[in-house]
Structure 1
Amino acid sequence: MNTSACNSVSLFTESPLELDSGATLSPVNVGFETYGELNEGRSNAILICHALTGDQYVASNHPITGKPGWWERIIGPGKLVDTNKYFVICSNVLGSCLGTTGPKEINPATEKPWGIDFPVITIRDMVKVQAALLDHLGVDTLFALIGGSMGGMQVLEWLATFPERLHSTIALATAARHTAQNIALHEVGRQSVMADPNWNGGRYYEKEAKPDKGLSVARMTAHITYLSEDALTRKFGRNLQSRDAITFGFDADFQVESYLRYQGSTFVDRFDANSYLYITRAMDYLDIAGRHDGRLADAFKNAAHVRCCIISFSTDWLYPTAENKRIVHALNAAGVPVSFAEIESPHGHDAFLLEEPEMDQMIEGFISAAAKARGLSS
C-alpha cells in the first residue's frame, strides 16, 4: 500500500454510524490521503488529525488552492514524520467538505444536499469514522496519533474511546473542553454566516449566490484568535496599506485590515459555510470530563499503556497552557505516561503549524523513543 493520491471510501454501508445525538448516517463517505507504505506487521501507521478548517491534504498540494500541504514541513521522506519509515494517514473529518460526508453532500432520503438537515455531530463522531477507516485499511493499532487544535481534541477522544488501538499520541495546542469564551467566539462566526441573506436557511447549494460574505467575516474573526497580539504587532503594527495617509473612510487603510480581508476572501473558495457551522458546533460540544462526572482522569483510565506528549505555546490565548496542563494532570492521575512542554513562541495558537525548533526537537525525540518501544527500526 503506497500512495500519495487522494482516496475515497464508502463506510457504514451495512450498519449505520450511530451519532452521539441519537441520529444515524449511512453510508458515510470519507476522503483521505496516505503517504508511505504499511509494513508487514502493520505496526507503523500514523494518523494525522486536522484542525477546524484543515483537510486531508497534510503533505500534498491542495486541489483547489494549489498550495503545499498544511504540514508538509513536518511530513515526508526524511522529515520529522518520515514517510520512508511510517505509513501516514490523514482523512477529512465528518461534517467537512472535501470528500467526507457533510452538509454539502447528497442526502439519500431526498437526493438533494443535506444542508441544515444534516445531523449535528461531535468530535467523538469524527473519531468513530476515523476508526472505521483504519478498519478498512487493515490497521488494528496505530503506532502514533498526532493532532493540533481540533486535531488535538480528536487525539483526546481517541484516548477516551479507543485507547486499545493506540501506542503513542501527540496533542498540540488543544483542550479537553470548550470554555465560554471559545463558544462565544464561535457563535459570532456562526451568526455571521446565518445573517448573510444568501445563506437561505442553509439551502444555498443549488443557487448561484453563496453566503460568502458571512463566511468571510467568520474566518476573519477566527483568524484573529489564531495569532497573538505580539505577532500582529510585529507583522503589521499600524502600517498603512498602499497609501501615505489615512483616507477618513472605511476602505482597508491599515495592512492588518487588508490581511484579514484577504484571509476571508480566499477561505470561501475552499470551504463550505454549513460545514463551518457544524464543525464549530462539534468543538463547542466537546467536554470529555462531562461524560465522567467532571473527572477528566476517569476518561483516560484505560490508556495507561499509551505514551503521550502534550505541547502548548506561551502566547496561545485560544487554548492556553492552563488548558493543556489540565490534560496533563488528568493523564498523570490516570497513570498514563506523559511528556509536556510549553514552547516559548511569539506566534500564538498557530505556532503548531509553523517552524518552531523546540517543538520539532520534542516531536522528533518522542517519536524516536516511541519507535524503539514499538520495535520499529530507527
Structure 2
Amino acid sequence: MSPDFARQHHQQSVSMTESPHLFALTSPFAMKRGGSLLHGHLAYETWGTLSAARDNAVLILTGLSPSAHAASSASDPEPGWWEEMVGPGKPIDTTRWFVICVNTLGSCKGSSGPASIDPDTGEAYRLDFPELSLEDAANASHQLVQGLGIERLACLVGNSMGGMTALAYLVLHPGSARAHISISTAAQAQPFAIAIRSLQREAIRLDPNWNQGHYDESRYPEAGMSIARKLGVITYRSAMEWVGRFARIRLDSEQREDDPFGAEFQVESYLVGHARRFVRSFDPNCYLYLSRASDWFDIAEYGHGSVNAALAGIRLERALVIGVSTDILFPLSQQEEVAEGLRGGGAKVEFAALDSPQGHDAFLVDIAGFGGVIAPFLASL
C-alpha cells in the first residue's frame, strides 16, 4: 500500500474492487505487546453470498504462509491453497455459506506486515513493525468481520497457526461465532514446536544477507530461508510418508551435484525443490514475526494460568476438533485438550482423529478425510 493510499484511509473501510479485497483497520490499531499500527490493512477474499440476515458467514484463518486465496473465483481463477475444500458442492459449500478467508496480519501476502510500507517513512517497516501476537491477528480479523456487517459468524475455521488465532478470536470476542472447526492446532505453543521454530529463525538470522532485516532482491537471505523451509517441511509430514515416498532411493548419477556432500538421495532433492519454490515467495522478516507470534501464544493467559479454564470460557454451540495421528508438530494430544476444554464451556463437541499418513500437512491434501468430517458438520448447522 502506498503512503498516499494509507493516509486516505483513517477510518475503517471495506474495498470490494481489488482482488484480494483490502480492509482498512482502525488507526491507530493497538497491539497486545505495546505500540500501535498506523493505517494498517488486511487482505481478504470471499466466496458465496451473504444472506439477508447476515447469518451464514464462515471465516477461515490460515497457517503461517498461505494467502487469502483459498479457492478460485471469477476474479481470480487460479487454484487456491484449499481449492478442493471450498466451493460449490464442496465440503465448505459456497452455495450455502458466505466464506471469508483472511491473509493474517503480519504476512506479506497483501496484509500489513514487516514488508509493508510504513506510511510515515515511505520505506518498508522491516524490524520497525510493532511486535506481533496472534491476538493482534485475531482482533484485526474480528474488525474485518464487523466491518462487513456480520455480528456473529456461523462458523470460524482455523488450521495450524490459524487455529491458534481462532482460539484467540473466540476468547477475546465472546459470542462472536455459533460454531468452530479447529484443525491441527494447539491451545498453547509446546516445546517441540518452539524448538523447531527457534531453529528456523536462527537459520534466517545467521544468514549474512539478512543483515538485521535490511536485505533486498540482490542480497536476499536465500540460504537461511531455504534451511528454515526444509526444517518446516520435515515436521509437516510424517516419518511414515517419508519412507513410503522416498525410502532410500538415490538420485541418478547425472542428477547429483559435484559437491561431495551434495544431495545424494531423492528425499534431499525433494527438500531442495520445495525450498527453492518457497524462499523468494515469502518475506523473511514476516516469517520471523509470525513464527515468534506462534511461540508466544498461550491461551492459559485468559484462564488464570489454566488452559482448560480459558477454553471453558469460550461460549460456542457446536465445535468440531480434528487432529491427525501422525502429526508431530501439533500432536493428537493437543487436539484432545482443545476438545475437552471446549466441552467444559458447554459446547457440543465432535472429535475426529484421522489416520492420514501426511502428518501436519494432511489438512491440505487429505481432502477425503478432512472433507468427510467437515461437510456433515457444516451441513448439520
Same fold (TM over 0.5): yes
**Residues in 2 aligned to 1:94 and 1:320: alpha-carbon distance in whole angstroms:** 26
Matched residues, number: 365
In the alignment, which residue of structure 1 is the partner of 2:200? 189
Matching residue of 1:6: 20
CA-based RMSD of the aligned residues comes to 2.3
The equivalent of 1:116 in structure 2 is 127
User: What is the rounded CA distance, in whole Å, between the counterparts of 2:114 and 2:317 in structure 1?
Assistant: 35
Shift of 1:131: 0.7
The answer (yes or no) to whether the contact 2:171–2:302 under 8 Å persists in 1 is no
Q: Which residue of 2 aligns with 1:32?
A: 44
Partner-residue secondary structure (3-state), 2:181: strand
1:233 maps to which residue? 243
Q: Give the one of 215, 235, 247 matched to 2:225.
A: 215
Worse overlay, 144-153 or 103-112: 103-112
| 1:77–1:84 Cα contact (<8 Å) kept | yes
Could you tell me how far 1:145 is from its partner in structure 2? 1.0
- For 1:164, what is the secondary structure of its paired residue? coil
> 3-state DSSP class of the match of 1:60?
coil
Aligned pairs (5 A) from 1:250-265: 250-265=261-276
1:321 to 314, 329, 332: 332
C-alpha contact 1:155 1:170 (8 A) present in aligned 2: no
Q: CA deviation at 1:365?
A: 1.3
Kindly provide the amino acid, as one letter, of the partner of residue 344 in structure 2.
A
SS at match of 1:126: helix
Q: 2:187 maps to which residue?
A: 176
> Once the two structures are superposed, what CA deviation does each residue of 1:10-47 show, in whole Å capped at 9, x if it has no partner?
2213xx21111011112111111111111111111111
The equivalent of 1:163 in structure 2 is 174
**1-structure distance, mates of 2:362, 2:103:** 22
How far the C-alpha of 1:361 sits from its partner, in A, is: 2.0
2:153 partner SS: coil
Return closer, same or farther for 1:359/1:121 CA change in 2, 3 Å cut-off.
same
Task: Tell me the secondary structure at the aligned position of residue 210 of structure 2.
Answer: helix
Contact 1:297 1:334 (8 Å CA) reproduced: no
Q: Does 1:51 align with 2:73?
A: no
User: Which residue in the other structure is 2:286 paired with?
Assistant: 275
What residue in structure 1 maps to residue 234 of structure 2? 224
Describe the superposition over 1:223-271 as per-residue Cα deviations: whole angstroms up to 9, x where unpaired. Answer: 1000000101111111112338988812221111111011111102310
Query: How high is the TM-score relative to the length of structure 2?
Result: 0.90
| Fraction of identical pairs, as percent | 36
Per-residue CA deviation, residues 297-322 of structure 1 (Å, 9 max, x unaligned), is 33234433431110111111111111
- Within the alignment, does 1:368 sit opposite 2:379 as a pair? yes
Between the aligned partners of 2:172 and 2:233, the Cα distance in structure 1 is 31
Hey, what's the Cα distance between the residues in 1 that align with 2:49 and 2:16? 5
Counterpart AA for 2:21: N
Stretches of structure 1 lacking an aligned partner (at least 5 in a row):
371-378
Deviation at 1:160, TM superposition (A): 1.0
Contact 1:103 1:114 in 2 (8 A): yes
CA distance in 1, matches of 2:119, 2:42: 16
CA distance in 2, matches of 1:168, 1:3: 30
Q: Distance in 1 between matches of 2:148 and 2:315?
A: 26
Counterpart residue number, 1:375: none
C-alpha distance in 2, partners of 1:360/1:148? 14
Q: Which moved more, 1:294-303 or 1:311-320?
A: 294-303
Q: Runs ≥4 in structure 1, deviation > 6 angstroms?
A: 1-4, 244-248
Contact preservation (8 Å) 1:52, 1:150: yes
| 2:252 aligned with 1:242 | yes
Distance (whole Å) between structure 1 residues aligned to residue 191 and residue 18 of structure 2: 40
Deviation of the 1:356 alpha carbon? 4.4
- Secondary structure of the residue that 1:99 maps to in structure 2? coil
8 Å Cα contact 2:238-2:326 kept in structure 1: yes
Contact map agreement 2:81 2:364 (CA 8 A) in 1: yes
Q: Distance in 2 between matches of 1:248 and 1:158?
A: 49
Q: Tell me which amino acid in the other structure corresponds to 1:6.
A: P
Q: Deviations over 1:94-116 (max 9, x none)?
A: 11001111001112332211111
**Alignment check: 8 A CA contact 2:117 2:125 kept:** yes
CA contact (8 A) 1:4 1:34 kept: no
| Partner in structure 2 of residue 85 of structure 1 | 96
* Contact 1:3/1:36, CA 8 A, preserved across alignment: no
Which range moved further: 237-246 or 323-332?
237-246
Asked if residue 21 in structure 1 is aligned to residue 33 in structure 2, the reply is yes
- Partners of 1:178 and 1:339 lie apart in 2 by 23
The match for 1:290 among 301, 319, 323 is 301
Task: Tell me how far 1:177 sits from its aligned partner.
Answer: 0.8
